[in-house]
Chain A
Amino acid sequence: MENQFSIKTKKESSIPVIYLYGDVTAESDELITKTFRKLLKKSHTKIILNFEDVKYINSSGMATMLALISEKNQEVDLKFVALSSHFKKIMKLVGITDFVDTYETISEAINN
């Protein structure tokens, strides 16, 4: 029933972008966390998550996002790109958007 989850990491203007594909649920937690931790070790000051190809995020997925916020230090800017208006609303409801800026495009996230 779940869309197979996968991740691709690519640098855009020297900033790492994590592209998420599929459902963000408990199943995707390990891969997202592992990828994020690898990038944290490389001392990036900005990390972008792209949600363009995500059609489903449940409360476990929200918990994963909070875990990323919890694990990063204050010097790292975490930015979310291409969230649907609904996911943005749910993230606001949970309080995630108090800690993460959201943008429509990757270039907006890079330049802000």
Chain B
Amino acid sequence: MKLHSITDSMSKVIELQIPSSLGNEKAAMDLSDSLTNNLQFSKDRQAEIKTAVSEACINAIEHGNKFDTDKKVQILFRESKKFLEIEVIDYGDGFLFDKHPDQINVLKKIESNRREDLRGWGLYIIKKITDKIEAQKLNYGYSLKMFFKRSHKRGY
């Protein structure tokens, strides 16, 4: 696991790299907790941001890097005046972000009686928690940027 901190004139950037196996997302969650605490997010919002970080890392480990521990998931925390921006980068091809539904019919999932149908909540939870989100294909992988307003007022 690697941790770097860079400060330029515009913003402070902290980078964390984690190996692609489940459980390592907790290092990113711990870092998120510490940063959001320093930035004085409310306790509730800190927990929400931590959940978004966890789900984005799990997606990157599972779907992006396909549990290949030689491939790292890169997590960048950028502070600006308005936002805390958290970018999660993996080596995958990405996903059809815009095609992912904003609403999910949970009853339909339950009634299907197929366990695999009950999965797939990560991106849905991320979408509901973040103030803004951007997904982008890179030359070497895929980036998901999550933005959290520093003066957060909205709930879900």
B and A form one assembly: yes
Q: Interface on A for B, CB 8 Å cutoff?
A: 1-2, 25-27, 56, 58-60, 62-63, 66-67, 69-70, 84-86, 89-90, 93-96, 98-99
Contact check: which of B44, B118, B128 meets A70 at CB < 8 Å? B118
25 CB contacts below 8 A, A to B, read A1-B23, A1-B24, A2-B23, A56-B29, A58-B54, A58-B58, A58-B122, A59-B55, A59-B120, A59-B121, A60-B58, A60-B119, A62-B121, A63-B118, A63-B119, A63-B121, A66-B106, A67-B118, A70-B111, A85-B44, A93-B125, A93-B156, A95-B107, A98-B106, A98-B107
Whether a CB of chain A sits under 8 angstroms from the CB of B110 is: yes
A95 to B61, CA, bound (A): 26
Residues of B within 8 Å of A99, CB to CB, are 110
A66 to B105, CA, bound (A): 12
Q: How many A-B residue pairs have CB under 8 A?
A: 70
Residues of B within 8 Å of A95, CB to CB, are 104, 106-107
Residues of B within 8 Å of A63, CB to CB, are 115, 118-121
Query: Are A70 and B125 in contact, CB atoms less than 8 angstroms apart?
Result: no
**How far, in Å, is B1 (CB) from chain A's closest CB?**
10
Residues of B within 8 Å of A69, CB to CB, are 110
Residues of B within 8 Å of A27, CB to CB, are 22
Q: Interface on B for A, CB 8 Å cutoff?
A: 22-27, 29, 44, 47-48, 51, 54-55, 58, 104, 106-107, 109-111, 113, 115, 118-122, 124-125, 128, 156
Residues of B within 8 Å of A84, CB to CB, are 47
Query: Are B48 and A70 in contact, CB atoms less than 8 angstroms apart?
Result: no
Contact check: which of B29, B48, B55, B118 meets A86 at CB < 8 Å? B48
Task: Name which residue of chain A comes closest to B58, CB basis.
Answer: A58
A1-B26, A67-B115, A70-B118 known; A90 vs B125 contact (CB < 8 Å):
yes
Task: Name which residue of chain B comes closest to A70, CB basis.
Answer: B110
- Which has the most chain B C-beta neighbours within 10 Å: A84, A85, A95? A95
